Amino acid sequence: MKGTAGGKLILCGEHAVVYGHPAIAIPVDMHTTVEYEPRQGALVVEHDLWSPRDEDRLDEALSKLFPDGGAHLKIESDLPIGVGLGSSAALSVAVARAMGATTDDDIAAKAMEMERVFHGDPSGLDVAVAMKGETLWFIKGKPIRTIPSPPCAIVAIDSGTSGDTAQMVQRVKDGGAAAEEIIDDIGALVHAARGVIEDPRLLGELLSENHRHLRKLGVSTPTLDQIVDLCLAAKAYGAKLSGSGGGGVVLALVDDPEPVLRSAEAAGFEGWTVRSRD
Ligand code: MEV
């Protein structure tokens, strides 16, 4: 049996979503497919995605769903791993679907078992987008709502290093009262972003402001800041880190992806158009 699921980008609200604020996330046009065949004996996994360092975590995550082995899994993906594009959630949802899960509750329950191995105690946002493949208004523990997508192209630029989600979430937790205040500001910003989701110019300004909040929370890096500046100089409507930070990607809302992608490439960064204009 086969299961497929796509990646995501958090448009705004990462970290604040852990504290019960809303976040907006969009699906990206990159996917993971898992083929599952029952077999006698140990679990066999075929893939060319993970480095040996991460392979242990992959095995541990899969063993949550296949504690007694009994499966041959073939994983194929065009999603870059560990850069904030939701590769582990796409994998987890694709595995759940390949196992025959069809209802949202069953897919989410199985996928979250794997996600907890990858990320500690994730909010479930990545799994929700991988499952739905639509732009979502997400509040932890509440029913998921679909909302319109921004009517412009979106690019993601890779900073070249990976952040560790559990570590970044802990860093925010350690930030105390100052961090709480910033988290509340991000929550308010996400509500404002929803109101202007169909106006790239106003939305872009809010996303750039969201990046400044994330920088104050201590989850940006000099490279992520450099990429945000580079995107804005190349006439993006707005740019911010997306995901847990500490590395990973910057997203930029753009009218035309080319100038931003060219400017990123000239500075040595790989980038992708993750959504074309709708
Ligand atoms: C990670 O993709 C997003 C965070 O908000 C953590 C989470 O939602 O679990 C940083």
Average pLDDT, the chain: 94
Q: How far is the CA of 70 from the centre of ligand 1 (A)?
A: 32
Q: Given this model, what pLDDT does residue 278 score?
A: 60
Kindly give the residue spans of alpha helices, DSSP state H, lying in the chain. Answer: 52-65, 87-98, 104-119, 125-132, 165-173, 176-195, 200-217, 222-233, 257-266
CATH number at residue 172: 3.30.70.890
Evaluate: CB of 165 within 6 angstroms of ligand 1. yes
If asked whether residues 162 and 257 sit together in one domain, one would say: yes
Pairing mode of beta strands 136-138, 23-38: antiparallel
Helices 104-119 & 52-65, crossing angle to 10 degrees?
A: 140
Residue 144 lies in a domain: no
If asked whether residues 38 and 67 sit together in one domain, one would say: yes
CATH number at residue 41: 3.30.230.10
Residue 226 lies in a domain: yes
Q: Which residues contact 102 (CB under 8 A, 6 or more apart)?
A: none
Evaluate: CB of 244 within 6 angstroms of ligand 1. yes
Residue identifier of the C-alpha nearest atom 10 of ligand 1: 244
Residue identifier of the C-alpha nearest atom 9 of ligand 1: 122
Evaluate: CB of 243 within 6 angstroms of ligand 1. yes
Residue 27 lies in a domain: yes
Residue 143 lies in a domain: no
Higher pLDDT, 84 or 104: 104
Total domain count, the chain? 2
pLDDT digits (tens, 9 = 90+) for 90-131: 999 999 999 999 999 999 999 999 999 998 888 899 999 999
Mean pLDDT value of segment 34-50: 92
Q: Given this model, what pLDDT does residue 52 score?
A: 67
pLDDT digits (tens, 9 = 90+) for 215-268: 999 999 999 999 999 999 999 999 999 999 999 999 999 999 999 999 999 999
If asked whether residues 105 and 173 sit together in one domain, one would say: no
Range of the domain at 188: 153-275
Q: Which residues contact 205 (CB under 8 A, 6 or more apart)?
A: 237, 238
Residues of the chain above pLDDT 70, percent = 99
How far is CA 32 from each of CA 94, 119, 128, 178, 274, rounded to the nearest angstrom?
7, 18, 15, 39, 15
If asked whether residues 243 and 171 sit together in one domain, one would say: yes
Q: How far is the CA of 23 from the centre of ligand 1 (A)?
A: 10
If asked whether residues 116 and 202 sit together in one domain, one would say: no
pLDDT digits (tens, 9 = 90+) for 118-167: 988 888 999 999 999 999 999 998 998 999 999 999 999 999 998 888 89
Evaluate: CB of 128 within 6 angstroms of ligand 1. no
Residue 112 lies in a domain: yes
What is the position in ligand 1's atom list of the atom closest to the CA of 10? Answer: 2
Residue 271 lies in a domain: yes
If asked whether residues 22 and 70 sit together in one domain, one would say: yes
